[in-house]
Amino acid sequence: MKTVTIKLKKVPGLYLECESVTPDKFAGKSLDAIAALPCSEGKSNYKLGDWFEISGSAGATAEETKIDVYGPGTSKCKYFGAWMSAGEVVINGTADMFTGSWMTGGKLHVKGDVRSFSGLQMKGGEMLIDGRAWNYLGAAYRGDWRGMQGGLIRVKGDAGSDLGTFMNGGTIIVEGNVDIHVGTHAEGGTIIVKGKAHRRVGGQMVKGEIYVFKGCDVMMPGFKKIEEREIEVDGEKHVFNVFIGDLGERHPKSKGEVVYGHLYTLKE
Amino acid sequence: MTEFIIKNGHVFDAVTGQKGDVADVCMKDGKIVDKVSNSATVIDATGKTVMAGALDVHTHVAGPKVNLGRWYRPEDKFRLGERCSAKIDPKTKIEGGFSIPTVYKTGYEYARMGFAFLMEAAMPPLYSRHTHEEIRDTPIVDEAAMPVFGNNWFMFEYLKNGEIDNAAAYVAWMLRQTKGYGIKCVNPGGSEAWAWGLNCMTVNDPVPYFEITPKEIIAGLITTNEELHLPHSVHLHSNNLGNPGNFQTTLDSLKIAEDFKPNNNLGRKTVLHHTHIQFHSYGGTGWGDFESKSKEVMDYVNKTPQISIDTGSVTLDETTTMTADGPFEYHLGALNHLKWGNVDVELETSSGVVPYVYDPKVKVCDIQWAIGLEVPLFAADPMRTMITTDHPNAGPFTRYPRLYAWLMDKKYRDDLLNSFKYATKVIDATYLAEIDREISLYELSQMTRAGPAQVLGLSGSMGGLAPGMNANVAVYNINPDNMQKGIELENAFAKSAYFFKDGVKVVENGVVLEADPVVKKTYWVNAKVPENKQVMHDINEKFLKYYSVSLGNYEVIDHYAPHQEIIEV
Amino acid sequence: MAEGEYSPLSKLFQKENFEDWSKPHIVGATSEYSSLLKLQAMKEGGLRKYGDGIIISVVTCTEIKQGVAIETGKTSQKYFDACSIIELHEDDFKALGINHNTNVRVTSATGSVILKAVTTTQSLYPGLGHVPMGPWANILVPSYTYSTGEPCFCGFDCLIEPAPQEKIEKAVKLMHEKCGLKYVGDPHYD
Amino acid sequence: MTKTIKNVICTFCGTLCDDLEVDVTDDEKKILQVRNACAIGAEKYLHVGNPGRVVVPRMRQPDGTYKDVSYDEAIDFAAKTLLKAKKPLFYGWSSTNCEAISAGNVLAEKTGGVIDNCATVCHGSSLLAIQDTGVPSCTLGEVKNRADRIIFWGCNPAHAHPRHMSRYSIFPRGFFTAKGQKGRKIICVDCRETDTAKVADTFVRIKQSYDYEIIDAFRTVLRGEEIPDEVGGVPAEKIKEVIDILKSGRFVTLFFGMGLTHTLGRNHNIDEAINFIRDLNDYTKAVLIAMRGHYNVTGAGQVLGWQYGYPFACDLSRLTVARHNPGETTSVDLLVRHEVDACVVIASDLAAHFPFEATRTMASIPTITIDPHISMSTELSDLHIPVAIVGVEVGGCCYRMDNVPIETRKCVDAPEGVLDDEELFNRISKRVDEILAENGVQDASEYLAKIEQES
């Protein structure tokens, strides 16, 4: 696993779009070829070399390439690891919007926070966020009914609103608390929230599982409690209240009986 | 204006009868001429194919439902992660959208494929100002739009009482107000029934409250059309679109045209044009035993000379269906549970927009694709058969080159047919496997140039290379002697070597040279009818009581169509 | 208010009265969280007293007077009268201990301004106030948009404290001071 | 003697009433009388020349005063500011005609800006919801002729659209609704009992910011499932009663406004309302219409739609691709996150209607305001360019709240020497081309690179 280290020279004035900071774009390139990759701030088109000090060497293929990102202004850089399919990206600090969006594989580790629209329409791969994540984590692009299809997103801190909108598959685990609208329009996949949800959990949900350990303030009227069951979730065994939901939404039939979304809250 | 001469290209033109023989085409002051002075710029077209500018008879490129489609499909500009929005040529504007392109992309892509004229298929009269604004902003290609009359309250009353001269006076007034081109009839009676959530499934279902059947509406509209000697025939989208077993309704609708004769002095020989006939030739009782009935429908069409059709072939892409047939879009939305848009227009029509994915792995979509190719291959008279995809319903117009390649190369289409997951089921349900016919370049020029020009009544100025016609000439890198096959043929049609619009070189090697060359015209028809007090009284009364817009603000003034081409009839 | 700094009120929302919610956004944090505070306060017997003021939820909507005043002119007296008011419910007047048409200081998570408290013909429920859309209302509106682009004009919480002596600022002067620009009158409207 | 102009279109709110009559003096200089207009419309026509009207461009000096400058100076300053900026914001467009918007889009593409209209602070959430679930809608004439069940959810037409109720929704006698108000059942759902609620038959008072839960309860009852006995301050019996009223109607219409778009959940409230109307279509005909605020905010979205494909928040700053990310490219987010370094406010008042966080950023970056009157934004901007008022001094196309285009009429001449919007944008675009040609560069990004090399 070859490592390329890039360090931001100065904090961008407005913001920086670094779509080219992905193992796929770095693989098999020399240092000055990497430095020639494009990045832009509004109208002005720059080269990666203008903004980043680049060292180390890139692997032959994307799997063998690891990218370490340092620097004070990473919180103003967008599209880190977007459309990456393999390899590893480690961001030591906060990353701005669209981090790891349209990701199909590989590992993305963000040591700080991640702003909105990260992990958008993810198909595979793994994303680990040590800080907090903002809104639309693992959601779908505006207007698209095919949301996140696979992969794993793990957030150690809190997450914002609209978590996993239009989700079709994959798993999102949030250790902290979550804001409104969890798993809206979900059609599959699993969302595990170890903390507390504010309101509107599982609105318009068709299929899929949502675990909210500390429950939510106001339950959706469309959810009905059916039973209490012990389930093993993310390595821990707990007894959960099981709700089926959103009864206001249209639910398909598969093999004869109707498919519902499931909402689990801890039984204390 | 400069002069051009295109030397020794293989010319295919049905108007002058040239079937690929090497000849020169001369252009001066925007018109085709016999010869030019030696100061003309020479274009060497050796080993290339030369045709007139193509005409698209039926496409949804401008209007309120097209724009609702653009509004509510941002992912169409961002298709599957790779951006479908970019600035392709140095001088042109940013182009956007795959199934519903923005007006700039529409104009530039049609020019790159060598198209000179587009017919906007459905224009709600109340929104005609919006349609004309979009037509004005579409660069390069000439355009016209057909207002919809099949569900108009005035037409219901006049046709119910058989007052043909009142109906003719109303249609003439409406064409002047909306700067429209001809009579479009979508799901006659059905869209008005949809205002109460109902529909007319066959030709004899009466419309709620107005008690008129689609058969009477179609017959009345044809009579009115011939009474006014309009350049284009009635453009029909019959009832029961898209349901299995609807080929019977289609045949009933086509039979209505038997006892009518064309009556105009613009060279039109047909009385009824049935559009996107692929959607109307389905057999079977449900999606399980869904099969192709294109043979039965095309046998009837080949027998009756006064009917013309356009195919509406499926191109197996993720696209957006949009039509003035409100009830059909609601049922399609209930079928695939995707986002459903709907706009009902007061006193006039309704419309619906639903995305649809023609997935090669789904049996029904493959059969629809096969039907879309069988229809032109069964056609006996290419002059009465036009190739369209009812853009964007069956597929985006940018797929026309692939459609031509499928029709002109049997191996290219059979490879796809046999690659389907349910290939055996599809082959049993359709005729495509047995058809060996390959469309020739000459037949293609009839289907896309001379045929549409004749049906639209424009054969005097468009669709051919005879002297005096408009200088719309397309040159493709196709050598008829050793014609490319499959994907190369498709790419050759997609990027024309040269394209001249009204004598101005607009495209060279697939690159559009200027952002907005001032060559675009808007066509509309001004039908002269005697003064009719009764109709004007009805119009004033209805506008006062039932319209939400006052009569004084209904007309589309000249400011919306700066370069007009008025056809006096 | 620089990045990271809070208005006095939002300190209240964050720390004392309910669990520690870490905000998703630092500047202009929404105080919609604080409807949690109201929820909690309502459980404890309805009154939302805080110091000598009360906490209510505020909505900003359009008004016919405000619409007409826009056409008269944004610097006209009619616009000043139409937009620098806050409508409260009778119980809230009693809770504040003031009578109608007195000035109050209204503080939200992102700003505070002086408005005139008036009664309304369009009845509210206790705990809901209404400020007509305008420059005064938009000093209070938090700019957090939940990543949809739409700020929260309806349903943010404010602390209302009686301030009979203080004067309501004119719109342009208010804007200049808050933006840190030197206010110099203009012949067009002074 | 006076001249009467008929069928004048009132250019204030989204209802776009087109039956006004304006009396003007013979030399078409002054408006004397307006008939058939509501209070707001009348005020607009009778106070065209009020003290706040400006006729010469004003440039802000360092000491805070404004000095009159000529149009050419103003246009030169505007062109240079936009070219120097890395990412200019073009906000507003809702109170001008569609021709000016097209001309403005040309300028925005040349200078790589973000084009955004008033929908971001008005019905932006509705447009996001339409992008998720589509919109079953119709024209206002269909409502007038057929609707017998009307719901006003979170909107107050008595105050915001005064003539809407008498022209389209409650009182008119249409083709199938000859009994007018008697033949219709009006339901008003809001957190305060507005003046519209006083006209309605049933008023449902809900607790503020619980719309999403209540509509979900409506849909659950519609599917025949059980709901808790009290949702968002509304008892379950009330919900069932409203559902029965709606199911018994032949044509249900839902009008919704700021009550749904501005409260907690934003686009999801309208997403849920659209799904509710779509479910109702299984029982009876149901449509919904958004109560758009300004008279041409719909037109701004339509022009941007057919030219670049998006309803609002269209980011052209990459000069080669048009992008749309509400939450990133919308005006409030751009200003609050300091992602734009120049701003053009056209035909709207940013400072008065944006949260103060965003206004403060606008005051700190070079700003050009294009507005006929003095407003909050003009006092915080560096340059104020006056233009003619659309609908009074200039014609042009505008779009009503149900997307119907109507051509506005010119009643009086503009004051001496005042340009109209379209003319102004064409001249700025020409000036931008001249500057690019002088520096021998192809487009704005090369111009910026050239400047950075020199500095």
pLDDT tens digits for range D51-84: 678 899 999 988 888 899 999 999 999 999 999 9
Q: Would you tell me the crossing angle of helices D71-84 and D421-438 to the nearest 10 degrees? A: 60
Q: Which residues form the domain of A52?
A: 1-81
Query: pLDDT value at position C179?
Result: 86
Query: pLDDT value at position C190?
Result: 65
Nearest to A243 by CA among B344, D434, A266, C57: A266
pLDDT tens digits for range C11-50: 444 433 333 233 333 222 333 444 444 444 444 445 567 7
Q: Do C24 and A160 touch (CB under 8 A)?
A: yes
For C53, the 3-state DSSP assignment is: strand
Query: Which of B:55-84 have CB within 8 Å of A?
Result: 72-75, 78, 81
- List chain D domain ranges: 2-46, 58-121+295-454, 124-290
Q: Do B553 and D305 touch (CB under 8 A)?
A: no
pLDDT tens digits for range B411-443: 999 999 999 999 999 999 999 999 999 999 999
pLDDT tens digits for range B531-554: 899 999 999 999 999 999 999 899
Tell me the helix, strand and coil percentages in chain A, rounded to 5.
10, 40, 55
Query: pLDDT value at position C45?
Result: 47
What DSSP string describes C67-113?
Answer: HHHHHH-TTSHHHHHHHSEEE--HHHHHHHT--SSEEEEEEETTEEE
Query: How far is it, in rounded angstroms, from Cα D4 to Cα D9?
Result: 14
Average pLDDT along chain B = 92
| Structure tokens, D274 | 């659209």
> Which residues on neighbouring strands pair with residue C94, listed in sequence order?
none
Q: What residues in A contact D131, CB-CB < 8 Å?
A: 142-143
Question: Looking at chain C, which subunits does it touch, using at least 3 CB pairs closer than 8 Å as the criterion?
Answer: A, D
Q: Do A161 and C36 touch (CB under 8 A)?
A: no
Cα dihedral value D450, D451, D453, D455, nearest 10? 170
Proportion of chain B above pLDDT 70, given as a percent: 99
Q: What residues in B contact A141, CB-CB < 8 Å?
A: 74-75, 78
Q: What is the average per-residue pLDDT within B486-504?
A: 92
Q: What is the CA radius of gyration of chain B?
A: 22
**ipTM associated with this complex:** 0.93
Q: What is the average per-residue pLDDT within B38-64?
A: 92
Q: Which of B70, B347, B548 sits opposite D305 (nearest CB)?
A: B70
CATH topology for D124-290 is Dimethylsulfoxide Reductase; domain 2 (3.40.228)
Is the bond leading into B401 cis (omega within 30 degrees of zero)?
no
Q: Who's near C11: CB < 8 A, 6+ residues apart?
A: none
Query: pLDDT value at position B80?
Result: 56
Give backbone dihedrals phi and psi of B45, rounded to 5 degrees, phi first: -120, 35
The reply to whether A97 touches chain D by the CB within 8 Å rule is yes
State the nearest Cα–Cα gap between C74 and chain D, in angstroms: 5
Query: pLDDT value at position C19?
Result: 30
Query: pLDDT value at position B1?
Result: 58
Query: pLDDT value at position D49?
Result: 67
Q: What is the average per-residue pLDDT within B5-28?
A: 91
Q: Which residue has the tokens 């294009």?
A: D370
Q: Which residue has the tokens 């309304």?
A: C120
Q: Do A116 and D327 touch (CB under 8 A)?
A: yes
Q: What residues in D contact A44, CB-CB < 8 Å?
A: 86, 445, 448-449, 452
Give backbone dihedrals phi and psi of C155, rounded to 5 degrees, phi first: 95, 40
Q: Do A141 and B78 touch (CB under 8 A)?
A: yes
Q: What residues in B contact D281, CB-CB < 8 Å?
A: 197, 330
Q: Which CATH number fits domain D58-121+295-454: 3.40.50.740, 3.40.109.10, 3.40.50.720, 3.40.50.410?
A: 3.40.50.740
Q: What residues in A contact D337, CB-CB < 8 Å?
A: 15
pLDDT tens digits for range D2-27: 889 999 999 999 999 999 999 998 88
Q: What residues in B contact D133, CB-CB < 8 Å?
A: 339-340
Q: Which of D218, D272, D449 sits opposite A204 (nearest CB)?
A: D272
Q: What is the DSSP letter of B470?
A: B
**Pair B355, B318: CB distance under 8 Å:** yes
Q: What's the Cα-to-Cα distance from D93 to each of A58, D104, D373, rounded to whole Å? A: 48, 9, 15
Question: Looking at chain A, which subunits does it touch, using at least 3 CB pairs closer than 8 Å as the criterion?
Answer: B, C, D
pLDDT tens digits for range A99-143: 999 999 999 999 999 999 999 999 999 999 999 898 999 999 999
Q: What is the DSSP letter of D413?
A: P
Which domains does chain B show, CATH number per domain? 3-51+469-512 (2.30.40.10), 121-455 (3.20.20)
State the nearest Cα–Cα gap between D387 and chain C, in angstroms: 16
pLDDT tens digits for range D335-363: 988 999 999 999 999 999 999 989 999 99
| Closest CA in chain B for residue A103 | B81
Q: Do A162 and C25 touch (CB under 8 A)?
A: no
> D332: pLDDT confidence band, cut at 50, 70 and 90?
very high
Decide if pLDDT at C130 tops 60: yes
pLDDT tens digits for range B140-191: 999 999 999 999 999 999 999 999 999 999 999 999 999 999 999 999 999 9
Q: Who's near B330: CB < 8 A, 6+ residues apart?
A: B194, B340, B342, B352, D281
- Most D-contacting residue of A15, A19, A44, A135 (CB-CB within 10 A), to test interface: A44
| Closest CA in chain D for residue B350 | D138
**How many structural domains compose chain C?**
1
| Structure tokens, D83 | 């070219």
State the nearest Cα–Cα gap between A43 and chain C, in angstroms: 22
* Start-to-end C-alpha separation, chain A: 47
pLDDT tens digits for range D385-407: 999 999 899 999 999 999 999 99
Q: What is the average per-residue pLDDT within B500-529?
A: 90
Burial of C126 (C-beta count, 10 Å sphere; 0-12/13-18/19+): middle
User: Mapped to the 3 state alphabet, what secondary structure does B178-199 carry?
Assistant: HCCCCCEEECCCHHHHHCCCCC
pLDDT tens digits for range D203-240: 999 988 899 999 999 999 999 999 998 898 899 999 99
pLDDT tens digits for range B59-74: 999 999 999 999 999 9
For residue A168, tell me if it sits in a domain: no
E-assigned strands of D93-224? 114-117, 136-138, 149-153, 185-190, 202-205
Query: pLDDT value at position B438?
Result: 93
> What one-letter code names the amino acid at D97?
N
**How many structural domains compose chain A?**
1
pLDDT tens digits for range D408-421: 989 888 888 899 99
Q: What's the Cα-to-Cα distance from B85 to each of B103, B172, B528, D86, D317, rounded to whole Å? A: 13, 41, 45, 21, 13
Chains D and A touch (3+ CB pairs under 8 A): yes
* Start-to-end C-alpha separation, chain D: 64
Q: What residues in D contact A98, CB-CB < 8 Å?
A: 328
Proportion of chain A above pLDDT 70, given as a percent: 100
**Pair B371, B292: CB distance under 8 Å:** yes
Query: pLDDT value at position B81?
Result: 53
Q: Do A144 and B339 touch (CB under 8 A)?
A: no
pLDDT tens digits for range B95-127: 999 999 999 999 999 999 999 999 999 999 999
pLDDT tens digits for range A206-231: 999 999 998 888 889 999 999 999 99
Query: How far is it, in rounded angstroms, from Cα D248 to Cα D86?
Result: 58
The reply to whether D306 touches chain B by the CB within 8 Å rule is yes
Domain CATH number, residue C160: 2.40.40.20
Query: Which of D:65-84 have CB within 8 Å of B?
Result: none
Question: Looking at chain B, which subunits does it touch, using at least 3 CB pairs closer than 8 Å as the criterion?
Answer: A, D
> What one-letter code names the amino acid at D340?
V
Same fold yes or no, D58-121+295-454 and D124-290: no
- Most C-contacting residue of A97, A113, A135, A178 (CB-CB within 10 A), to test interface: A135
Q: What is the average per-residue pLDDT within B292-297?
A: 93
> B82: pLDDT confidence band, cut at 50, 70 and 90?
low
Q: Which residue has the tokens 């989204």?
A: D14
**Pair B299, B247: CB distance under 8 Å:** no
Q: What residues in A contact B78, CB-CB < 8 Å?
A: 141
Q: What's the Cα-to-Cα distance from B279 to each of A233, B241, B347, B385, rounded to whole Å? A: 50, 6, 27, 15
Q: Which residues form the domain of C83?
A: 8-18+30-179
For residue C23, tell me if it sits in a domain: no
Query: How far is it, in rounded angstroms, from Cα D273 to Cα D268?
Result: 8
Q: Would you tell me the crossing angle of helices D297-308 and D98-110 to the nearest 10 degrees? A: 50
For residue C185, tell me if it sits in a domain: no
Query: pLDDT value at position D47?
Result: 81
Q: Per-residue b/e over A62-94, b at no fewer than 16 CB within 10 Å?
A: bbbbbbbbebebbbbbbbbbbbbbbbbbbbbbb
> Which residues on neighbouring strands pair with residue D63, listed in sequence order?
none
Q: Do C21 and A177 touch (CB under 8 A)?
A: yes
Query: pLDDT value at position C20?
Result: 29
Q: Which of D51, D266, D360 sits opposite C188 (nearest CB)?
A: D51
> B83: pLDDT confidence band, cut at 50, 70 and 90?
low
Q: Which of A121, A141, A143 sits opposite B72 (nearest CB)?
A: A143
Q: Which of B85, B343, B545 sits opposite D309 (nearest CB)?
A: B85
Q: What residues in B contact D285, CB-CB < 8 Å?
A: 195-197
Average pLDDT along chain A = 91
For B482, the 3-state DSSP assignment is: coil
Q: What residues in B contact D137, CB-CB < 8 Å?
A: 341-344
pLDDT tens digits for range D96-152: 999 999 999 999 999 999 999 999 999 999 999 999 999 999 999 999 999 999 999
Q: Model's pTM, two decimal places?
A: 0.94
Q: What's the Cα-to-Cα distance from B485 to each of B53, B313, B325, B410, rounded to whole Å? A: 23, 20, 38, 10
Decide if pLDDT at C1 tops 70: no
> B90: pLDDT confidence band, cut at 50, 70 and 90?
confident
Query: pLDDT value at position C5?
Result: 35
